[in-house]
Structure 1
């Protein structure tokens, strides 16, 4: 279901929708809205913001819809006609989005990471943006019988994780959703302020 279809559906049913809005005074922030109407040939949405109660106009191409598993419909002209099933597919689509002289993209078995390059061509250790699969994690759980902490290994429900500079960290159960979120966050990761003062061209 597209962003517009989801919004139309919520107008009919009267449901509150959680969105990420890539505009306004706080771009990238999650917010809850009550959609009222779609304007200007599907270009704008009139909705009431649940937090402050004000009715506002949002540009639809800057809206991403969120559900319990994360972002389900991406805005900003990102087509979801392709179904991503592997990191290699994402890698092949991501490479053309970066300047090869400034960035190094590394593909591993469970990880895809983007690194800034030094002037000598070698890549920096720090990550610009990264997507990886977390197989398991360890928690310390207090054992009342022994009065000690035991290490307990758990499998995450949302093992696909994305993080980076100026990127809102997120995790997903579904790789395809994670892949689209990764692509969507590239413009936020490659900005004037967070990549050593250089502007993405």
Structure 2
């Protein structure tokens, strides 16, 4: 289980963007960063700064993954044929916790990770409690029978602020979701612009 190293809304404040599109984000009220120096005027960011920020934003979006975890996913994306940035997005979106979030079985990425950790899900009929579990196209994720009346689940399904993307088919009456295909960057409904090309540049130099 990954330990969350910082409050989710602090990530928003640090980035200066509402990266999950949540109505409660403090960025909706205060667009400056957290802390006593948050309101200082920002100078022009260097290329390295832009690349680092893109990496931190993408890493933070998926539940503030550790650097070791994120680097491992990037290394795998690099080994796959094709565009490394697109491969990176595909790998991140195929995580079980990401699919749970996309299917609206949890209100946030953090809640999705907890939902998986607590053993509320079956993948192709087998219980899986590892958030980083790689879901393959065609896999069916199902909320366990005894977990279907959880308040957090029922509230998440009703959330109006986001829709289920086309690469996930969710049936909320049966509490099932099917991962249809690996998405490209343009398929993923990010609330804030993600720049995996800058992440690739960052790791190419570091």
Same fold (TM over 0.5): no
Q: Considering only CA atoms, is the larger Rg found in Structure 1 or Structure 2?
A: 1
In the superposition, the TM-score normalised over structure 1's length comes to 0.23
Higher relative helix content: 2
In the superposition, the TM-score normalised over structure 2's length comes to 0.23
Looking at both structures, which has the greater relative contact order when contacts are Cα pairs under 8 Å and sequence separation is at least 6? 2
Higher relative strand content: 1
